[in-house]
């Protein structure tokens, strides 16, 4: 017999089947049952701040934003933490290669902190342009070194970790159900990792992963190091997420989300060390978004197919057209990017804005029947294509125009396509004003508020104002 729950949203009482989420941990759709009724603790793996984020990375951020917006729309109180990695992420997940931050520092002849600041400001501008809501917590790895050292100490004390001259490692053979997320057999994984060169001959098992690298061996000239009880060094990348999730959300969280590529190594290692250190289950639901392809292939810098949002803006595309494009595929599906597809999305969004504008400005009532249908789409593993289809049904229906307007603007709380803003009179913004606004936003992100105020005044002198609301800024005519 099907189970149902009643979802109280605003003035509506909506009867739904159970909310179902695909859980990578169990490889099945499951009824979503949060730890605390009506509340969701969610962690999302954020970017490593060594390079401009390409549109594949940005798709992951928009889809996590869709999930958070959906949960909030269904009246859950969501606490989202998204980390920023600014140390410890090596060029290989297998604890080999150079730290990506140091690689970028050498490439651009800047210290790692300035590299992180530069690419964080870029990233924040991009996700703001894509209308993604800001997480509740956005910690940098370098802000949590003390807690990382504390977790390493616990793992050593519990005999889950051991020390060599080069690093402190987690012993994967001591983890309970180490392969439960990936489905790999540990003996096969150990055998596979043994094919390459082993940087530390004193590792007990090739699959053991570093919790703390010492300033020794290939890392003897590391640019970012901290003192620890065992020697100067820096944390391993896998450790960082475990610690930041624990610090800002607790020992056990409801949802952990990230890219599908993180399943076999990064997320598997997070589970192992978190559950060994904390003695409880780390995350109840693991959500993984699939890759964005370009012309059916993986994005590649060398082949010129690793596009940034700035690349698209320079070609004249509205960032929200990219968001609309992303919403056209369910988060667990691969999506193929072409400029023809993006152009179709841009035309589709323009048509939506036109249709919504033609409804007039007087809002009526939100239609309960369509709202229920919209929520059912979201409750089925955040099915964004189906949700968009429901929105189109509303626009084509015989509802009163005012009710149509109220309903689609209500849906936009999830879709994030700025329907209400599209009703406002369009103004032509000079290039000089846009440039000053971009510089002001960068100054704000860098906490240079004096410079930001000066730039606001220059914009004012040119006949425009900057409105800051809900963490976002927009240009308006005086």
Q: How far apart are the first and last CA of the chain?
A: 60
Q: 382 and 453, same structural domain?
A: no
CATH number of the domain residue 355 falls in:
1.10.730.10
Q: Is residue 195's pLDDT more than 60?
A: no
Residues 424, 426: Cα–Cα separation, whole Å: 6
Domain boundary among 235, 254, 289: 289
Q: Is residue 189's pLDDT more than 60?
A: no
Residues 234, 222: Cα–Cα separation, whole Å: 9
Put residue 38 in one of left, alpha, beta given phi > 0 → left and psi -120 to 50 → alpha: left
Residue 267 counted as domain residue: yes
Confidence band, pLDDT 50/70/90 cuts, at residue 80: very high
Stretch 165-188: mean pLDDT: 90
pLDDT for 469: 63
Q: 449 and 414, same structural domain?
A: no
When the pLDDT of each residue in the chain is averaged and rounded to a whole number, the result is: 91
Q: 103 and 189, same structural domain?
A: yes
Stretch 256-280: mean pLDDT: 97
Dmax over CA atoms of the chain, in Å, equals: 73
CB distance 149 to 186 below 8 Å: no
CATH number of the domain residue 112 falls in:
3.40.50.620
pLDDT for 464: 81
Least trusted range by pLDDT, from 117-126, 151-160, 188-197 = 188-197
pLDDT in tens, 86-100: 999 998 877 888 999
CB distance 83 to 244 below 8 Å: yes
- Locate 55 and state its tokens: 């549109």
Residue 6 counted as domain residue: no
Domain boundary among 422, 439, 465: 422
Find all residues with CB under 8 Å of 221, minimum gap 6, and list them.
none
Q: 377 and 417, same structural domain?
A: yes
Q: 144 and 60, same structural domain?
A: yes
Q: 212 and 114, same structural domain?
A: yes
Q: Which domain holds residue 154?
A: 20-289
Residue 367 Cα to chain centre, angstroms: 32
- Number of domains present in the structure of the chain: 3
Q: 253 and 337, same structural domain?
A: no
pLDDT in tens, 57-75: 999 999 999 999 999 999 9
Residue 9 counted as domain residue: no
Stretch 241-246: mean pLDDT: 98
pLDDT in tens, 381-400: 999 999 999 999 999 999 99
Find all residues with CB under 8 Å of 157, minimum gap 6, and list them.
none
Residue 10 counted as domain residue: no
Pairing of strands 209-214, 233-235: antiparallel
| Length, in residues, of the chain | 478
Confidence band, pLDDT 50/70/90 cuts, at residue 1: very low
Enclosing H/E stretch for 21: strand 20-23
Q: Is residue 280's pLDDT more than 80?
A: yes
Q: 112 and 186, same structural domain?
A: yes
Domain boundary among 422, 448, 468: 422
Residues 161, 146: Cα–Cα separation, whole Å: 18
pLDDT for 2: 40
CB distance 401 to 414 below 8 Å: no
Choose among 84, 89, 82: nearest CA to 44.
82
For residue 457, count other CB atoms closer than 10 A to its CB: 11
Q: 304 and 276, same structural domain?
A: no
Question: Which position has the token pair 């159900």?
Answer: 177
Residue 229 counted as domain residue: yes
Residue 189 counted as domain residue: yes
Pairing of strands 39-44, 253-259: parallel
Residue 11 counted as domain residue: no
Q: 139 and 219, same structural domain?
A: yes
Residue 13 counted as domain residue: no
The SS3 of residue 324 is helix
pLDDT for 184: 81
pLDDT for 16: 60
Q: 116 and 97, same structural domain?
A: yes
Q: 146 and 50, same structural domain?
A: yes
For residue 298, count other CB atoms closer than 10 A to its CB: 12
């Amino acid at each position: 017999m099907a189970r149902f729950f009643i979802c109280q949203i605003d003035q509506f009482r909506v009867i739904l089947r159970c909310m179902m989420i695909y859980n990578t941990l169990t490889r099945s759709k499951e009824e979503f049952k949060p730890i605390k009724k009506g509340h969701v603790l969610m962690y999302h793996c954020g970017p490593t701040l060594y390079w401009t984020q390409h549109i594949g990375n940005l798709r992951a951020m928009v889809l996590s934003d869709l999930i958070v917006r959906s949960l909030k729309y269904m009246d859950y109180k969501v606490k989202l933490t998204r980390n920023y990695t600014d140390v410890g992420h090596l060029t290989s997940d297998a604890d080999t290669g150079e730290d990506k931050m140091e690689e970028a520092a050498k490439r651009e002849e800047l210290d790692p902190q300035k590299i992180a600041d530069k690419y964080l400001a870029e990233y924040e501008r991009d996700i703001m342009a894509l209308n993604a809501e800001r997480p509740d917590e956005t910690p940098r790895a370098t802000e949590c070194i003390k807690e990382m050292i504390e977790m390493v100490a616990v793992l050593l004390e519990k005999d889950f970790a051991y020390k060599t001259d080069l690093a402190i490692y987690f012993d994967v053979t001591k983890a309970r159900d180490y392969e439960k997320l990936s489905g790999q057999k540990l003996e096969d994984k150990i055998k596979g990792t043994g094919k390459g060169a082993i940087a530390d001959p004193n590792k007990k098992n090739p699959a053991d992963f570093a919790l703390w690298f010492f300033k020794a061996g290939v890392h003897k000239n590391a640019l970012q190091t901290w003192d620890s009880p065992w020697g100067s060094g820096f944390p391993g990348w896998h450790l960082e997420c475990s610690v930041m999730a624990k610090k800002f959300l607790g020992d056990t969280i409801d949802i952990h989300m990230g890219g599908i590529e993180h399943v076999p190594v990064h997320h598997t290692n997070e589970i192992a060390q978190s559950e060994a250190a904390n003695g409880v289950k780390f995350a109840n639901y693991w959500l993984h978004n699939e890759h964005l392809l370009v012309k059916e292939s993986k994005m590649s810098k060398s082949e010129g197919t690793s596009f940034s949002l700035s690349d698209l803006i320079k070609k004249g595309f509205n960032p929200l057209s990219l968001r609309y494009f992303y919403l056209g595929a369910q988060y667990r599906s691969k999506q193929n990017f072409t400029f023809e597809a993006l152009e179709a999305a841009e035309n589709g969004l323009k048509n939506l804005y036109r249709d919504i504008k033609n409804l007039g400005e007087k809002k009526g009532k939100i239609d309960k029947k369509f709202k229920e249908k919209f929520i059912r789409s979201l409750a089925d593993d955040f099915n964004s294509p189906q949700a968009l289809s429901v929105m189109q049904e509303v626009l084509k229906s015989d509802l009163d125009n005012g009710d149509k307007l109220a309903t689609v603007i209500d849906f936009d709380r999830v879709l994030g396509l700025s329907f209400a803003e599209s009703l406002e009179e369009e103004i032509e913004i000079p290039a000089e004003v846009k440039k000053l606004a971009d510089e002001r936003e960068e100054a704000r992100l860098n906490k240079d508020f004096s410079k930001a105020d000066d730039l606001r005044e220059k914009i004012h002198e040119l006949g425009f104002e900057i409105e800051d609301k809900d963490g976002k800024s927009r240009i308006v005519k005086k």
